Copies of this chain bind each other. A is one copy, B any other.
Amino acid sequence: MNPNYPLDCWYVAATSDEVGSGLLGRKLLDRPVVLYRLESGEVVALEDRCAHRGYPLSKGRLDGDLLVCGYHGLRYDTAGACVGVPSQPHVPYGVCARAYPVRDEPPFIWIWLGQPGRSSLHSPPQLPWLSGEGWSSSGEMVCLAANYMLVHEHYLDLTHIPEVHPEETPPGLEELPALDHVSVSETSVTYTRTLPPAELADWEAEATGLPRDREYKRRHHGTFLSPAILAEGWQIDGGDGQPYEQARIHAVTPESPTRTHLFSWFAHNFALDRALIGRHLHAVMAKVMREDVAVLEAIEATAGYEGSAAGIHLTADAGVLQVRRIVARMLATETGRTSAEADRAPRSASARKTARPG
């Protein structure tokens, strides 16, 4: 099937912690990538494939800042240029592994796998919940067997919460309203949703310390920032002037058309001095994420048998539909650009292939 992910986008390749002193090989957007740190601490990403026989460079070793292939010892510099071949005095012209632009912005390392020249026109989205003052955050990465758009659509329509996470659903909110409002920019979609007053779920009461015998107003909002990232947040109005905000950041990186790396992060801005509450919330969110993954993998596993119909849409899908439009437009733009270049420069087939990496 044709991949449904844009290439021209900053995706999360790994967490900053994952790239230490070794070599990290990972498949991203169906391309093998090797990530490592220079002695300066800077992160480098190369195509994980030696130009000679295709051996994964991630199975080789570092010699200072040079990456040495574990097969015949070819040596690559930080731009991916081969600078040494042990069995001969000169390096043949043009031997290289593709280098990908990366940005190390903890907790994430971002990668640009699309047209190299376009990477500087874009930036990874800002995620103040994960780096800013006043928030405590944690997270984990899983690789799940589902297309990345299923992940986005899952978090764009939170009316699944009562069925998928009944233990975490506040009493009285078993039937959630659809979205209040969806606002759309050229590249992003934001929904908001105001929930009817309801008591606290157990985990909320434990986390906030708010009294249980009252009803609280909640506001929920979420933003599709790019095909790589979706941020959702919710506030409990505790009536005590405190914010009680929580956020989940979903970094969604296709591994292949049917598998996705999900970097699932959580942040809160209250009780920051109490580590136990942070751990409690982390455990709740980890459980929720596992339940999400089970749903998404079940959908992917049964998708597309003969005679299966396209899904119908509900009011709650207003955000989903806007996001589908944005992604379709991005894909059409990439395809169009590739076609236009092909028209302009009708060189050899392999030259055209190089014009658009991958």
Of residues 45 through 71 on chain A, the ones whose CB sits less than 8 Å from some CB of chain B are 48-49, 51-56, 59-60, 68-71
A307 at the interface (CB under 8 A from B): yes
| A residues contacting the other copy or chain, number (CB 8 A) | 57
Which chain B residues border A357 with CB–CB below 8 Å? 307
How near does chain B come to A118, taking the closest CB pair, in angstroms?
A: 16
A331 at the interface (CB under 8 A from B): no
In whole angstroms, how far apart are the Cα atoms of A53 and B146 in the complex?
13
In whole angstroms, how far apart are the Cα atoms of A87 and B159 in the complex?
6
In whole angstroms, how far apart are the Cα atoms of A303 and B164 in the complex?
39
A181 at the interface (CB under 8 A from B): no
Copies in the complex: 3
User: A53-B153, A70-B295 provided; 18 other pairs, C-beta below 8 A?
Assistant: A52-B311, A52-B314, A53-B311, A54-B311, A55-B298, A55-B299, A59-B298, A68-B163, A71-B160, A71-B163, A73-B163, A86-B159, A86-B174, A87-B159, A87-B177, A87-B178, A87-B316, A307-B357
Given contacts A70-B163, A295-B55, A295-B71, contact A32 B305 (CB under 8 A): yes
In whole angstroms, how far apart are the Cα atoms of A178 and B302 in the complex?
44
Of residues 169 through 207 on chain A, the ones whose CB sits less than 8 Å from some CB of chain B are 174-178
A309 at the interface (CB under 8 A from B): yes
- The residue on B at minimum CB distance from A179 is B87
Interface centre among A30, A174, A178 (most CB of B within 10 A): A178
A157 at the interface (CB under 8 A from B): yes
How near does chain B come to A293, taking the closest CB pair, in angstroms?
A: 13
A88 touches B54 (CB 8 A): no
A312 at the interface (CB under 8 A from B): yes
Select one of B30, B88, B178, B303 contacting A314, CB under 8 A. B88
Which chain B residues border A95 with CB–CB below 8 Å? 312
- The residue on B at minimum CB distance from A320 is B53
A358 at the interface (CB under 8 A from B): yes
A298 touches B56 (CB 8 A): yes
